Chains A and B, each alone.
Chain A
Amino acid sequence: MSAANGTPLIEARDVTRILPGIVPTTLVHHIDLKIGGNEFLAITGPSGSGKSSLLYLLGLLDLPTSGEVLIRGRATAAMPEEERARTRLATLGFVFQFHFLLPEFTVLDNVTLPMRALGSLSARAMRERASSILAALGLADHLGKRPDQLSGGQRQRVAVARALANDPPVILADEPTGSLDSKSSGQVFDILCDLVHAQGKTVVAVTHDLSLAARMDRRVELIDGAIVSDAPTPAAALGA
């Protein structure tokens, strides 16, 4: 449940997010959650329960109204925007329900983009790394193609490759199989499983598909913006 030094990779401390407005809307409230290394965590709940909102807060895409999200023990609310962006770049990889690839760029360019933004590798090393990730996901023949030349499943696999580009310890996925047919959905889920079990990464996935959630290791259930249960899945219990 914890990272190597005992500090959680991601920790939410009493996190509440309220959307301002004439009638303020509470998305999530009083969330306490610790996510460690090599976890395969499902966030489930009915529509409007705050699953995606919680994921975006954990991924620093949104800021809590109160409470704190810590990444590797570091508080992030007071971080300058520049530093928060860099933390996101180095530590977190995102996969959304829709691929959200940049349409003007090739598959290879889309995957190298986060690496170029981080700037820690040479141009050649970036290309090699991106090619090898894409090859591992079965996309070796599509490096020069644009997203509109790929199928839905292929695009989502490219999105996974992009999330892995900077080798982040955590992948945050928001309904990663939600827009895919069952075959592609199975392929993407298998890739996520492999990331946890073969590469030791942490995957936090929002899903409304309870059968998929059951195949993961830990399930956090939200109802009306609050965690109502946080427990290992039966599969994890069996595996253990």
Chain B
Amino acid sequence: MKLVVDIALTHVRARARQTFVAVAGVATGVGFSIMMAALLQGSQQDFVRRLVDAMPHVTVSDERRRPTEQPGATFYDAAEIRGLKPQARRRGIKNPLATMAAIEAWAPGAVAPSVKVQAILRYASRDVGASIVGIDPRREAKVSDLPKYMRQGTITSLYRATNAIILGGRLAEKIGARVGSNITVQTSDGVRLYALVVGLFHSGVRAVDAGTAYTLAKTGQVLARQTGLVNEIRLRLNDPLAAPVAAARIERETGYKSVAWQEASEDLLNTLLIRNAIMYTVVGAILLVASFGTYNIISTITHEKARDIAIMKSLGFSEGRVRAIFVIEACLIGLAGALIGFGLGYAMTVVLGSIEIANPLSDVTRIPVAYSPLHYLMAAAVAIVSSFAAGYLPARKAARLHPVEIIRGAT
């Protein structure tokens, strides 16, 4: 075996330029495969992160999956009852504090209550409909990215005034309000109050920025005319992927409709599956092209050594031994190419990840890239397997030839 390795090493060393070209070819293939995989997976992870960050992992609302059974249906074993007046229920989640405490006891993550009310915002004779979300700023910071989205003021600014309000940037534009403006908030139930604008936020989602405002929970309860009302409990879990299990448990224990982010974004996640398929197809295609490049280079080298194969066979080297020399040689080139390709791929990924993209409507962002050992392993495996094949197949063919055929050709 030592002889075989020595010959392979001598071949590789002696033909430095050819070896360099072959190694560079493999390294380029591996490097670009790694970079493309990093880019594709990075953009996918970024997409999921934005999706997950943009919403609570679990939203518990004061609704039920099925309509509440009417008292008439409970009392009478009739096939169908018509004309009964449905039982009216008080809005909101019952005992919200106890419910939150119960969830907090087992769910790893943070819980925050909110009150949602529809209202008209009025300022300078302009009326715009909006969703008013009453929040607890201290808890809110743990379940949503609202603090990150603040462009003016902070969410704790809500404590600054009796009826403080934070507006979406586009909503503020629509009514012409700025921080410090006193606006009127009026609900369909006739509740009307004056609120001081203490902050503006920009989430990047047009519908949210143009139609949402935040107040303290108690202000929301005043607008809803219901003291202690909480009609939504939101959770942010330490493990976002555990959301469906947590949602199912909350729904089982409380009876309230609990929606995990996966359920809320079912369509987007289906799109993600398609993206996944595209990503693996693209990376696979790149690896395939790279492997053909590797095969081409190494098989050419092996073909060029057909005469040496004949000489070694005439000396008394067996077919297996001759094959082993070229397979080792090809694998050495593949391995060296893969290692250099690792460095190249990593460097290109770093450079790509450092490119800044300026957007006037949001912060400066960078091209999302992902670093995963799997990318490197996959690229190296393809390079080494194709190198092996590129060495093995031509060497097998050459070693099977009678040396006479090659020697006669050479003379």
Q: Residues of A contacting B10 with CB < 8 Å?
A: 104-105, 109
Given A90-B316, A100-B407, 11 extra CB contacts under 8 A: A61-B403, A82-B318, A85-B316, A85-B321, A94-B314, A96-B411, A100-B307, A105-B14, A113-B3, A117-B317, A117-B321
Cα-based distance from A98 to B6 in the complex (angstroms): 25
Cα-based distance from A45 to B10 in the complex (angstroms): 40
Q: Residues of A contacting B15 with CB < 8 Å?
A: 104
Is the beta-carbon distance between B403 and A102 smaller than 8 angstroms? Answer: no
Interface check A215, CB cutoff 8 A: no
Query: Measuring CB to CB, which residues of chain B are less than 8 angstroms from any residue of chain A?
Result: 3, 6-7, 10-11, 13-15, 307-308, 311-321, 402-404, 407-408, 410-411
Is the beta-carbon distance between B315 and A113 smaller than 8 angstroms? Answer: yes
Q: Residues of B contacting A81 with CB < 8 Å?
A: 318-319
Cα-based distance from A209 to B390 in the complex (angstroms): 44
Q: How many A-B residue pairs have CB under 8 A?
A: 75
Cα-based distance from A113 to B13 in the complex (angstroms): 17
Is the beta-carbon distance between B402 and A114 smaller than 8 angstroms? Answer: no
Is the beta-carbon distance between A97 and B316 smaller than 8 angstroms? Answer: no
Q: Name the CB-closest residue of B to A179.
A: B411
Q: Residues of B contacting A100 with CB < 8 Å?
A: 307, 311, 314, 407, 410
Q: Residues of A contacting B14 with CB < 8 Å?
A: 103-105
Cα-based distance from A57 to B197 in the complex (angstroms): 102
Q: Residues of B contacting A102 with CB < 8 Å?
A: 308, 311-312
Q: Name the CB-closest residue of A to B322.
A: A85
CB distance from A75 to the nearest CB of B (A): 18
Q: Residues of A contacting B321 with CB < 8 Å?
A: 85, 117
Q: Residues of B contacting A97 with CB < 8 Å?
A: 411
Encoded as 1 (CB less than 8 Å from any B CB) or 0, chain A from 159 to 178 comes to: 00010000000000000000
Is the beta-carbon distance between A98 and B315 smaller than 8 angstroms? Answer: no
Cα-based distance from A119 to B321 in the complex (angstroms): 13
Is the beta-carbon distance between A94 and B315 smaller than 8 angstroms? Answer: yes
Is the beta-carbon distance between B315 and A114 smaller than 8 angstroms? Answer: yes
A-B contact list, 8 entries, CB within 8 Å: A53-B404, A56-B404, A97-B411, A100-B311, A101-B311, A109-B10, A113-B312, A117-B321
Is the beta-carbon distance between A98 and B313 smaller than 8 angstroms? Answer: no
Is the beta-carbon distance between A98 and B410 smaller than 8 angstroms? Answer: yes
Cα-based distance from A50 to B146 in the complex (angstroms): 92
Is the beta-carbon distance between B11 and A104 smaller than 8 angstroms? Answer: yes
Encoded as 1 (CB less than 8 Å from any B CB) or 0, chain A from 139 to 182 comes to: 00000000000000000000000100000000000000000000
Interface check A86, CB cutoff 8 A: yes
Q: Name the CB-closest residue of A to B408.
A: A52
**Which residues A102-143 have CB closer than 8 A to chain B?**
102-105, 109, 113-114, 116-119
CB distance from A216 to the nearest CB of B (A): 22
Interface check A220, CB cutoff 8 A: no
Q: Which of B15, B308, B313, B314 has the most CB of A within 10 A?
A: B314
Interface check A31, CB cutoff 8 A: no
Main secondary structure of the interface of B (DSSP, over half): helix
Cα-based distance from A100 to B312 in the complex (angstroms): 10
Give 6 closest A-B pairs by Cβ, nearest first. A89-B316, A104-B14, A85-B318, A88-B316, A116-B3, A100-B311
Q: Residues of A contacting B316 with CB < 8 Å?
A: 85-86, 88-90, 92, 114, 117-118
Q: Residues of A contacting B317 with CB < 8 Å?
A: 85, 89, 117
CB distance from A232 to the nearest CB of B (A): 29
Cα-based distance from A9 to B157 in the complex (angstroms): 106
Cα-based distance from A162 to B314 in the complex (angstroms): 12
Is the beta-carbon distance between B320 and A82 smaller than 8 angstroms? Answer: yes
Is the beta-carbon distance between A96 and B407 smaller than 8 angstroms? Answer: yes
Give the contacting residue for B315; candidates A56, A63, A82, A162; CB below 8 A.
A162
Interface check A194, CB cutoff 8 A: no
Q: Name the CB-closest residue of B to A85.
A: B318
Q: Residues of B contacting A230 with CB < 8 Å?
A: none
Q: Residues of A contacting B410 with CB < 8 Å?
A: 98, 100
Cα-based distance from A118 to B10 in the complex (angstroms): 19
CB distance from B266 to the nearest CB of A (A): 63
Q: Which of A62, A63, A85, A90 has the most CB of B within 10 A?
A: A85
Q: Which of B6, B11, B311, B317 has the most CB of A within 10 A?
A: B311
Q: Residues of A contacting B319 with CB < 8 Å?
A: 81, 85
Is the beta-carbon distance between A85 and B411 smaller than 8 angstroms? Answer: no
Q: Name the CB-closest residue of A to B320.
A: A82
CB distance from B6 to the nearest CB of A (A): 8
CB distance from B406 to the nearest CB of A (A): 10
Q: Name the CB-closest residue of B to A163.
A: B315
Q: Residues of A contacting B7 with CB < 8 Å?
A: 113
CB distance from A1 to the nearest CB of B (A): 26
Q: Name the CB-closest residue of B to A116.
A: B3
Cα-based distance from A189 to B6 in the complex (angstroms): 33
Q: Residues of B contacting A114 with CB < 8 Å?
A: 315-316
Is the beta-carbon distance between B315 and A62 smaller than 8 angstroms? Answer: no
Q: Residues of B contacting A113 with CB < 8 Å?
A: 3, 7, 312, 315
Is the beta-carbon distance between B404 and A62 smaller than 8 angstroms? Answer: yes
Q: Name the CB-closest residue of B to A178.
A: B411
